Amino acid sequence: MADLLGEDFETATSAAQARTTVPVLLPIGPRKEIGVVWERAPNAKPVDPRKLKTIVERFDLPPLPDVSRRFAEWVARYTLSPRGMVLKMMMSAGDVFSPDAPRWGYRLAGPPPARLTPGRKRVLEVASEVGAAGVIWQKSDLANRAGVSYGVIDGLAEAGTFQRVELPRTTPPQPAPDHAPPTLSEGQSYAAHSLCETLNAGGFSVSLIDGVTGSGKTEVYFEAVAEALRLGRQVLIMLPEIALTGQFLSRFERRFGCRPTEWHSSISPGERARSWRAVAEGEARVVAGARSALFLPYRDLGLIVVDEEHDNAFKQEDNVRYHARDMAVVRGSLGKNAVMLASATPSLESVVNAQNGRYRQIVLPQRYSGAQMPELTAIDLRATPPERGRWIAPPLVEAINETLERGQQSLLFLNRRGYAPLTICRKCGHRIECPQCSVTLVEHRHRAEITCHHCGFTLPSPKLCPKCENEGTLVPCGPGVERVAEEVAERWPGVETAILSSDLVPTLKALREVIGRVASGEARIIIGTQLVAKGHHFPLLATVGVVDGDLSLASGDPRAAERTFQLLSQVTGRAGREDGVKGLGLVQTHLPEHPVMQAIVAGDRDEFLRREIEFRREAGMPPFGRLAGVIVSAKTKPEAEHHAKALAVAAPRAEKVAVLGPAEAPLALIRGRYRYRLMVKAAREVDMQAYLREWLTRMPPEKGSLRVVLDVDPYGFM
C-alpha cells in the first residue's frame, strides 16, 4: 500500500473532493495501489492541477469510520510508524480488493460475441451444458472449468454475452444474548452486574476483571457481551493465542448459539474478505481474534474485551510495534467504548492503573467449582536432583505416579521446544552454533534436524563433530519438551501422552485435536511449552510439574520477575480446576529462596506485586517511567557499532531523559545482522514521541545495510 503521507495521496484527495475515508485504487507511477481518501490537511499547500491523477476505481466498500481513521493516526504517531503502515494493517482484508472476490456472479444472457476465440468458446460450452441454464457462475468457478483466465470472462461480460449479477450476501449468524445464560454464583453475578452497569452508562471506561484461574472470568464478561448485543452494538474479544480460540469458540457457541466471527492469521483470504466486510457493515456482531482484530473497521463498536491481558503475545514485534492491550484502551477512548481487561495475573501496569483509580477493578477471589487453588511446592533440585541424564526429580515422579493411580492427569511444563537446546562435542568441546545468529542450534530429534529458533537455519542432525570430525562424540545438553517426553515414555510405558508444542502440531487443526485429547482426559500425561499455559480448561488435570522454574528468571528484562510469576501461576493454575480434583503444582528450581519463587509457592500475589511495584517505582521503570528501545543492525559489526555510537552522539539533551548505550545486543547476531541497542529512559511526564521525533531529525542517514528500528514501550530486550 502506498504511504499515504506522500504527495500522490494528497493529489488523490483533492481529486476525489471527498471527506469520507473511502478505499480506492490509485495510480502511483506505473503501479496501481490501494489507498484511502483522507481529509486534506488544513495547512496543505495547493497542488498543481497538472499533477492531479484520476482515481482508477472506487471500491464498493463502506468508508472507513472516522474513529478508525483517528485510531490509525494515533497509533502511527505513538509508535512512530508511517501512517500507511498502520493503514495497511487496517486494510489487510484478504480478497476484498481483488476483482474476482466472489461478490459477483455471471449469467449467460446474450448472443455469442462477434469475435469467438477458443477460450471464449470453451466458456460458452461450459455455460451451455445440460442443466446449466440460468446458473449464476462464480468467476473463478467458470474460469477454472473452462481453463481460461479471468480476463476471458471479463471480455464476455463486456460483449454482453454474460451479465454480471450481484450474488446475495451471506450474513454471518447472529449471536443471541439470551441463548443459554449460565446461573452465576453470587460473586460472579455481582461482577457481571457491575460490568453491565458500566457498559450501560456509556462512554469510555476501563475495567480490570481480576479473578483467580477458574473463577469464571469468561462467563462474567460474556454477560457484558450479551448486554452490548442487546444494545445493538458490536463487540471485540481479543485473545493472545489462536491456539486458545478452539475451546473459546465452542464455549461462545454454547452461550450465544453460534460462533463469533474469527480474525487471525490462519483464516483464508476469502474468509478474511467476508469478515472484514461484515465488520464494516456492522453485520458481524462479535469478533474474536488476535491483536490484529483491533484494526478492523467496526461500524459501531460498543465493547472491547482483552482476555489474558497480561500476555506478551499482545505485543507485536515487527512493522508497527504496538501493544494490543494498550492500543485497545486507546481505541476505547477514541470510540468512547467500554474496555474490559481480564486476567488471573494482571500486568503490573494494569494493577497500578487500578490502584490509582484509572481502571475499575472487579475481583473474583474464588474458583467457581468450589475447588481450592492448587497447593504449590518448590522442589529443590540441589537437594533432590533427578538421576543423570534425566529431568524429572524424584518428588515429581512420585506425584505423577499418585496422580495416575487416581486416574487423573498430569502436566509437565517446559518452555523450550525441541529435544536439546545445545549440542556439544565431548572430544573437542565444540558447541554447534547458528552461522547467522549468536545462538546455539536446537536439536529436534523427531525431524532428525538441528535448527535455529531465530532464523530457521536448519541442518540434518550431524553424525560427526563439525570441528574435530570424530564420530559419536556429539552429546545433547539440557532438555527440551521432546526429551522430557522421551523420559516420560521410558518411565511410564503404555501411558497415553500428548505433546503440546507449536512445532510438533504445525496446523491449527492438529493443535485443536491435541487440545481436545487433553480436555477429554484421554491423554494422561501432557508435556507442553507455553502453549499449555494459557487459558485452557482441562477438567481432569490434577498435577502440574514445572520442569525448569528458573528458565525465565535469568534474563536482562526488567519484567523478568513479573513474567516468571505470571507464567508459573498460570501453568500451575491449570491444575485442580474442578471440584474433586485436588490441584498440585510442583516447581523444580535451583533457587527456592528467590523472592519470586517464595511468592509463587506461598500463593502470595499481593506481596509479590507490592515488592515489584516498589522496585519499579524506585528504578523509574514502567509504568513509573517510559522506555523506548533503539535497535541498530547492519551486515558488518563495525558498521552497526559505528552507527549506534553516532546515534548516541546525535541524541538531543533533554531534562529527565537518559539515553543508555549503545551496547551490543544480548542477541548480537540475528539472520546475519549484527545488532546494537540503545535505550531511552524517561520520566513519565516526558513526551517520549516528541523526543524521538526530534532525535530522528538529527540522526545520520542509514547508509548501506544499516537499519534503525524504534520500539516504543519495549517488551523485548534481546
What CA–CA distance (Å, rounded) separates 516 from 465?
42
Query: Is the alpha carbon torsion for 406, 407, 411, 412 positive or negative?
Result: positive
Task: Note whether 1 and 35 are within 8 A (CB).
Answer: yes
Over the window 521 to 550, marking each residue x when it contacts ligand ADP by CB under 6 A and - when it does not, the resulting string is: ----------------x-------------
Check binding of 182 to ligand ADP (CB under 6 A): yes
Q: Which stretch binds ligand ADP (CB under 6 A): 39-47, 182-190, 191-199, 662-670?
A: 182-190
- List the grid coordinates of 404: 495416575
Interaction between residue 193 and ligand ADP (CB under 6 A): no
Q: Least CB distance from residue 483 to Zn ion, whole Å?
A: 21
How big is the CA angle at 285 (ends 280 and 286), to the nearest 5 degrees? 110
- Residue 213 interface partner, choices ligand ADP, Zn ion, none, CB cut-off 5-8 Å depending on type: ligand ADP
Instruction: Give the residue with the Cβ less far from ligand ADP, 239 or 678.
Output: 239
Q: Which is nearer to ligand ADP, 12 or 305 (CB)?
A: 305
Which residue is listed with cell 509457592? Answer: 601
Distance CA 123, CA 604 (A): 72
515: left (phi over 0), alpha (psi -120 to 50) or beta: alpha
454 touches, from Zn ion, ligand ADP, none (C-beta below 5 to 8 Å by class): Zn ion
- The entry of ligand ADP, Zn ion, none that residue 533 binds, CB within 5 to 8 Å by partner kind: none
Query: How near is the Cβ of 456 to Zn ion at its closest, in Å?
Result: 7
Measured from the CB of residue 453, what is the shortest distance to Zn ion in angstroms? 8
How many positions of this chain bind ligand ADP (CB under 6 A)?
Answer: 16
List the one residue from 217, 277, 416, 574 that touches ligand ADP (CB under 6 A). Answer: 217
Binding partner of residue 113 among ligand ADP, Zn ion, none, CB cut-off 5 to 8 Å per kind: none
Q: How many CB atoms lie within 10 A of CB 552?
A: 20
Residue 434 interacting partner from Zn ion, ligand ADP, none (CB closer than 5 to 8 Å by kind): Zn ion
Is 184 one of the binding residues for ligand ADP (CB under 6 A)?
yes
Binding partner of residue 436 among ligand ADP, Zn ion, none, CB cut-off 5 to 8 Å per kind: Zn ion
Is 605 near ligand ADP (CB under 6 A)?
no
- x-or-dash pattern for ligand ADP, window 116-155, by CB under 6 A? ----------------------------------------
- Of the CA atoms within 13 Å of residue 330, those in its CB half-sphere come to 20
Residue with cell 541442518: 459
Q: How near is the Cβ of 217 to ligand ADP at its closest, in Å?
A: 4
Identify the helix (H) or strand (E) that includes residue 163: strand 162-166
Which partner from the list ligand ADP, Zn ion, none does 537 bind, CB cut-off 5 to 8 Å by kind?
A: ligand ADP
Q: Which of 606, 518, 520 is nearest to 212 (CA)?
A: 606
E-only strand ranges, 611-654: 625-634
Residue 368 contact partner, candidates ligand ADP, Zn ion, none, CB within 5 to 8 A by sort of partner: ligand ADP
Asked if 717 is part of the footprint of ligand ADP (rule: CB under 6 A), the reply reads: no
CA dist list (Å): 365 to 212, 222, 273, 598: 6, 18, 42, 21
Least spacing, CB of residue 307 vs ligand ADP, in Å: 8
Q: Does 211 participate in binding ligand ADP (rule CB under 6 A)? A: yes
| Rounded-to-integer distance, Cα 394 and Cα 504, Å | 28
What are the cell numbers at 9?
495521496
Taking the complex as a whole, how short is the minimal distance between the CB of residue 61 and ligand ADP, in angstroms?
A: 36
* CA proximity to 5, closest of 89, 73, 68: 73
CB nearer to Zn ion: give 442 or 533.
442
CA distance linking residue 421 with residue 245, whole number of Å: 30
CB of 586 to ligand ADP, least distance (A): 21
Region label for 532, one of left (φ > 0), alpha (ψ between -120 and 50) or beta (otherwise): alpha
> For residues 314 and 674, which CB has a smaller minimum distance to ligand ADP in the complex?
314
Residue with cell 450501560: 200
Q: How far apart are CA 159 and CA 695, in angstroms?
A: 59
Residue 183 exposed, middle or buried by CB count within 10 Å (0-12, 13-18, 19+): exposed
Q: Measured from the CB atom, is 267 or 568 closer to ligand ADP?
A: 568
One-letter amino acid identity for 169? R
Q: Which stretch binds ligand ADP (CB under 6 A): 208-216, 283-291, 561-569, 676-684?
A: 208-216
- How do strand 474-477 and strand 422-425 relate by DSSP bridges? antiparallel
Cβ–Cβ under 8 Å, residues 347 and 207:
no
Contact pick of 21, 218, 347, 415 for ligand ADP (by CB under 6 A): 218
Q: Are 330 and 157 in contact (CB under 8 A)?
A: no
Interface residues toward Zn ion, by CB under 5 A: 434, 436-437, 452, 454-455, 457
Tell me whether residue 105 or residue 585 sits nearer to ligand ADP (CB atom): 585
Task: Indicate the residue among 360 and 671 with the shorter CB distance to Zn ion.
Answer: 671
Question: CA dihedral defined by 192, 309, 568, 592, rounded to 10 degrees?
Answer: -110
CB closer to ligand ADP out of 579 and 702: 579
With the CA atoms of 577, 581, 587 and 593 taken in that order, what torsion angle do they form, in degrees rounded to the nearest 10?
A: 90
Does residue 187 touch ligand ADP according to CB under 6 A? Answer: no
* 589 makes contact with ligand ADP (CB under 6 A): no
User: Which CB sits closer to ligand ADP, 221 or 391?
Assistant: 221
Q: Cα separation of 145 and 128, whole Å?
A: 12
The entry of Zn ion, ligand ADP, none that residue 452 binds, CB within 5 to 8 Å by partner kind: Zn ion
Binding site residues, ligand ADP, CB under 6 A: 182-185, 188, 211, 213-219, 368-369, 537
